[in-house]
């Protein structure tokens, strides 16, 4: 890694030793301030700004370490208009556990109603992250969002109706 150390540009020695001991990397993700890696041996490490995803909380670490793999991962956060917004990671494990960490204002905390939909799902068909929020369409066709409600973390009722009536999403984008 290279760049500013507070943005993940320097790999800490403890993380570097995990990476050096690994035969490879299964998954890597980043936001503007942090990196996450799952090694081929199942070790999970993060570095960068600890408030914005660069440190995995113990409760999340235990879920990731118990997992046999990662089904999907997404990250939110970004720099916009002279200011920085968020920095969050979302992971769904191969076993169906859903975890987040990072900035709680921008998706780093999943509301209970959304968590129950995610936990009841057998899979995720679509996931999209913005600087501020996450959107998920489950395998069963449920559509949920969380994060900053003014910036994608809430699905308006008229949009929710269209999504709920659709049989799938062909294309999705965020800004």
Task: Give the pLDDT band of residue 130 (cuts 50, 70, 90).
Answer: confident
| E-strand stretches of the chain | 25-30, 34-39, 44-48, 70-80, 83-93, 98-102, 124-129, 133-138, 143-147
Three-state DSSP class for 97?
coil
Q: Give the mean pLDDT of the chain.
A: 91
Give the span between the Cα atoms of 40 and 82, in whole angstroms.
Answer: 38
**Residue, of 150 and 57, whose pLDDT is higher:** 57
Task: Give the pLDDT band of residue 83 (cuts 50, 70, 90).
Answer: low
Q: Which residue has the tokens 């905390």?
A: 109
Write b or e for each residue in 113-145: b if 16 or more Cβ atoms lie within 10 A of its Cβ, otherwise e. ebeebbeebeebbbbbbbbbbbbbbbeeebbbb
Entry pTM: 0.90
- CB atoms under 10 Å from CB of 107, counted, come to 31
Q: What is the pLDDT of residue 18?
A: 97
- The closest of 17, 41, 34 to 73, measured between CA atoms, is 34
* Residue pair 107/76 in contact by the 8 Å Cβ criterion: yes
Give the span between the Cα atoms of 23 and 26, in whole angstroms.
Answer: 10
Average pLDDT over residues 92-121: 94
Q: What is the pLDDT of residue 5?
A: 84
Give the span between the Cα atoms of 163 and 143, in whole angstroms.
Answer: 7
Q: What is the pLDDT of residue 169?
A: 78
Give the span between the Cα atoms of 88 and 32, in whole angstroms.
Answer: 10
Confidence check: pLDDT of 82 > 70: no
């Amino acid at each position: 890694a290279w760049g500013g150390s507070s943005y993940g540009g320097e790999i800490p020695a403890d993380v570097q030793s995990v990476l050096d001991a690994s035969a490879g990397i299964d998954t890597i993700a980043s936001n503007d301030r942090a990196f996450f890696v799952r090694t081929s041996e199942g070790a999970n490490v993060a570095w960068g700004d600890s408030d914005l995803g660069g440190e995995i909380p113990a409760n999340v670490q235990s879920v990731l370490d118990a997992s046999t793999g990662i089904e999907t991962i997404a990250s939110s956060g970004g720099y916009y208009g002279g200011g920085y917004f968020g920095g969050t990671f979302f992971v769904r494990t191969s076993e169906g556990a859903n975890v987040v960490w990072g900035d709680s204002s921008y998706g780093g905390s999943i509301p209970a109603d959304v968590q129950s939909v995610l936990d009841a799902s057998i899979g995720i068909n679509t996931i999209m992250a913005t600087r501020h929020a996450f959107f998920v369409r489950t395998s069963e066709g449920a559509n949920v969002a969380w994060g900053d409600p003014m910036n994608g973390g809430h699905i308006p009722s008229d949009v929710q109706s269209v999504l709920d009536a659709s049989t799938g999403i062909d294309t999705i984008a965020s800004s």
